[in-house]
Structure 1
Amino acid sequence: MTEAAPAPVDTPLPPDGPVTLAVHSMPMPLGEDVDPPRRSRWTLWLVLLICAAPVVASYFSFYVLDLRGRAYSDLITPTRDLPPTMALSTLQGAPVAAEALKGQWLLTYVPDRACDTGCERMLFMQRQLREMLGKDRDRLDKLVLIPDDVQLTPAQVDALTGHGAPATVLRARRDAIEGWLMAAPGHRLGEHLFLVDPMGRWMLRSPATPDPSQLKKDLERLMRANAGWDKPGR
């Protein structure tokens, strides 16, 4: 005999009526309450701060740590930017963009007339100062800016490019060079060495016919103060 199927059981409805679904708002992700434009502004300022850190560090060493009074050389205030439109070229006449000089400290010399014994002494000093920096020498390049009305002999060019780390030798119009770098009152450009920071800003000028040992101390202070962020090579 076949068993009878059990009778269906009616499920009673809740006393309050049919079941309903309640929709609750989802929790907002962390940070969604920050105004997007405001957050973008903070991000922009952070990027600018990171980019400016090398410059801030370099001048902190001189101005905040009170090295101004102890520096042998003249600190340039305000600093003077390398003109982005300065027309530069190699000795062979190939154009060079001014922006290409940025990214490295530049110990710069300007032979403002036919290179005599005084000029050769300054070029020798420029070469020796870089070597005397020891492990920090690769953070500093030698730059020679030759006015367009000055000629160097083949032997002088060889002295610039054939001994140790070669100098970057470029030509430019005299008025363009003199519009950026300046000699001390009563002196010529060729009597000084000029220091340009990695952002292309002229910041320091040696005294006329400088004492190499004293100028070396200024360079060492600068390299030491910026050792944490400044890496060798352009």
Structure 2
Amino acid sequence: MTVHAMPPAALVGDEAGDSQRMRRGRIKMLVVFAICAAPVVASYFMYYVVRPSGAGAAYSTLIQPSAPLPAVEARTLDGQPVALRSLRGQWLLVVVGDGSCDPACEKRLFLQRQLREMTGRERDRIDKLWLVTDDAMPGAALRAALAANPATQVLRLPRATVAAWLKPAAGHALEDHVYLVDPMGEWMMRAPADPDPSKLKRDLERLLRASAGWDQPGR
């Protein structure tokens, strides 16, 4: 019979210690993640589940799971590169359309501005973004209106890239909606097509109130 040497006790102890340290490391990582995510999860929970009595159901559609800003580079109208994820840090009201911007597109851009202003003192937490999906140049009058303080950020991004991130409701086109992106860069809400501004404002105000504990104006 062959007698195999037993591993030294110290070696067995080291292996057990390594295993315990790995488990503790994983637990710490999960705790850190939970602490970071808790305020955002809590704010959405308060908005969509624990609503004040009589507040009624949300008018807009909650996106589950949310979709992060793509790690792509957009372009300004004069061709300057802008990393799309650099827009994180503010709530974003997003409109999508081609550069020719028909009357329906102009109506959505007006709604976008109106919504921000209707939130009153909370408006500094919101930025306006128009994603232009082709090479057409918006008209001079429209560009001037969008440049008025507070300016709407206008960025070119291929339609296919936008469509891989934002999704319209069934039976609608990508351009039919206003989309809401939270300060962490997650697309999390879609307004109905041709929305009622007062109902959409109510959704936005609830979100701003629910997130007040973790979101501050400015990037």
Normalised TM-score (structure 2): 0.81
Task: Work out which of the residue numbers 120, 127, 130 in structure 2 matches 1:134.
Answer: 120
Partner of 1:190: 175
User: Alignment identity in percent?
Assistant: 55
Partner of 2:79: 93
Does structure 2 retain, via aligned residues, the 8 Å contact 1:105–1:140? Answer: yes
Q: How many residues align?
A: 198
CA drift of 1:157 comes to 1.4
CA-based RMSD: 2.2
Task: Give the letter aligned to residue 78 of structure 1.
Answer: P
Task: Name the CA distance, whole Å, in 2 between partners of 1:221 and 1:230.
Answer: 13
Partner of 2:61: 74
Local SS of the residue matching 1:110: strand
Gaps of 5+ in 2: 1-19
Partner of 2:195: 210
Task: Give the letter aligned to residue 187 of structure 1.
Answer: H
Task: Work out which of the residue numbers 136, 146, 149 in structure 1 matches 2:132.
Answer: 146
Local SS of the residue matching 1:204: strand
1:83 is the counterpart of 2:83: no
Task: Name the CA distance, whole Å, in 2 between partners of 1:138 and 1:224.
Answer: 14
Partner of 1:18: none
Task: Give the letter aligned to residue 155 of structure 1.
Answer: A
Task: Name the CA distance, whole Å, in 1 between partners of 2:99 and 2:195.
Answer: 19
Structure number with the higher helix fraction is 2
CA drift of 1:127 comes to 0.5
Task: Name the CA distance, whole Å, in 2 between partners of 1:105 and 1:216.
Answer: 14
1:58 is the counterpart of 2:43: yes
Partner of 2:215: 230
Partner of 1:168: 153
Task: Work out which of the residue numbers 86, 95, 118 in structure 1 matches 2:104.
Answer: 118
Does structure 2 retain, via aligned residues, the 8 Å contact 1:112–1:188? Answer: no
Task: Give the letter aligned to residue 124 of structure 1.
Answer: F
Task: Give the letter aligned to residue 157 of structure 1.
Answer: R
Higher mean C-alpha displacement, 51-60 vs 144-153: 51-60
Counterparts in 2 of 1:7-26, with a 5 A limit?
none
Moved over 4 A (4+): 35-42
Task: Name the CA distance, whole Å, in 1 between partners of 2:163 and 2:23.
Answer: 44
Q: Larger Cα Rg: Structure 1 or Structure 2?
A: 1
